[in-house]
Structure 1
């Protein structure tokens, strides 16, 4: 019998490990100049939580001389990686706390780090709770959904919106004049 009442304690303990400054064995440099931040983490947790990080870590293991492993993620903003790192350790994310544009950035980072279980959750949140914002930023959402094959629910939502309510699209701020043949 699995008792989900016990999972919050496990989640809290793992977040405490993330904040512990003693036992980390990897540093992660996130962002690009001039805004770069270095995070400390644990290879074993990263290895099991992200297929992308597992591949990176397999080629960048801790040295026997005691120096820490170090990886760089220049395409992710530090404040977004902080959110994702808390998700990696705690297994939860409270989207109500974040701006809609941050949720999109989290989704892009989740895609880059191969968090396939997180992407549908983020897409559903945007579609179900942020419909007005998605429609106001249709150009961004439409383009993003076609540039990333992982965002299939957003792509479907955009196609449905175009076919059912084209006036909303044509009256939006921008219209994308691209021919996507996917």
Structure 2
């Protein structure tokens, strides 16, 4: 019998112990009203498999007249997820292929809560290797999850790389409209962003429209209140758009229609820069890495079209 078969037999026996109530000495309450489930388990196994549970158990004084110790887990862990985790604690195996990606994220969070670092590492590796497409489509969830927990270093690295190298995938994700403002700012202020500046501006506008459903698609049909709302929405983002790296044509067709949402001083300086070939902004930002931005400040083709 090879080592693998021996381990499989050991795993099977330990799972049989989990399913046998005769020697259980602890009950674990999981969930919140009205969905609560109580699991039976063995302190010795929990103590050696989870440092979190070891800390919890070390604070409990067991009385002789109590046949079972009772503990309650944080409400963040769902009963159906803890059942999966508990089988892993006993059997040492977990086939992630059996679960959808969202459940795997829930298992990851629960494993972190229970200080099962080897399982946390295993799940992160599985996600990056097998669920990359799903994570791109649900980037906000992955980003928020990974940075809420300091132990999700592999997911954090995945998010950072995607922001720098493939931002288009984030902007095209299913949940882009719900992207937190702080995350959007983090993306657009990145010097290594692999996008032209006009693409950055278009996506900032797209996000702004998503936060204000019901806006006309054409800014010429905006009301004064519409412009005010959009200006307030994008107030924190606009300083990180590198307008000076646009071409004159891009500035005229894509920025001028939204001039009312820009700070007045910025808009006037942009006009001066694009209308006067001899005018140069003092602190013109550098083009982003990998882009070919080049402002047509010397072009006169579109200058006569710009209206104040």
Normalised to the residue count of structure 2, the TM-score between the two structures is 0.56
Aligned to 1:47: 47
Matches within 5 A, 1:8-27: 8-27=8-27
CA deviation after TM superposition for structure 1 residue 38, in Å? 0.2
Alignment partner, residue 162 of structure 1:
163
Q: Please list the CA deviations of residues 122-147 of structure 1 after superposition, one character each: whole Å capped at 9, or x if unmatched.
A: 01111100111111110000011111
C-alpha distance in 1, partners of 2:180/2:35?
A: 31
Taking the aligned partners of 1:77 and 1:66, their CA distance within structure 2 comes to: 27
Instruction: Note the aligned Cα RMSD (angstroms).
Output: 1.6
Contact (CA 8 Å) 1:60, 1:70: kept in 2 or not?
A: no
Give runs of aligned pairs for residues 42-121 of structure 1, distance below 5 A.
Answer: 42-73=42-73, 74-121=75-122
Name which of structure 1's ranges 172-181 and 67-76 shifts more when overlaid on structure 2: 172-181
8 A contact 1:32–1:75 mirrored in 2: no
- Indicate the residue corresponding to 1:176 in structure 2: 180
Quote the residue 2:145 is aligned against. 144
Per mean C-alpha deviation after superposition, the further-off stretch among 67-76 and 158-167 is 67-76
The one-character-per-residue Cα deviations of 1:108-131 (angstroms, maximum 9, x if unpaired) are: 000000001111110111110011
Deviation at 1:62, TM superposition (A): 3.3
Between the aligned partners of 2:170 and 2:87, the Cα distance in structure 1 is: 36
Q: Is the 8 A contact 1:25 1:41 kept in 2?
A: yes
Structure 1 gaps, min length 5: none
Assess if the C-alpha contact under 8 Å between 2:137 and 2:172 holds in 1: no
Alignment of 1:115-134 (within 5 A): 115-134=116-135
Distance 1:62 1:136 in 2: 49
Q: Distance in 2 between matches of 1:80 and 1:61?
A: 28
Match of 1:3 in 2: 3
| 1:30 corresponding residue in structure 2 | 30
2: CA distance, partners of 1:127 / 1:58: 36
Unaligned runs of 5+ residues in structure 2 are: 187-308
Q: Which has the higher strand share?
A: 1
Provide the secondary structure at the position in 2 that maps to 1:28: strand
With 56-65 and 134-143 compared, the bigger mean Cα shift is at 56-65
Q: How far did residue 176 of structure 1 move?
A: 2.7
TM-score (structure 1 length as normaliser): 0.94
Larger radius of gyration: 2
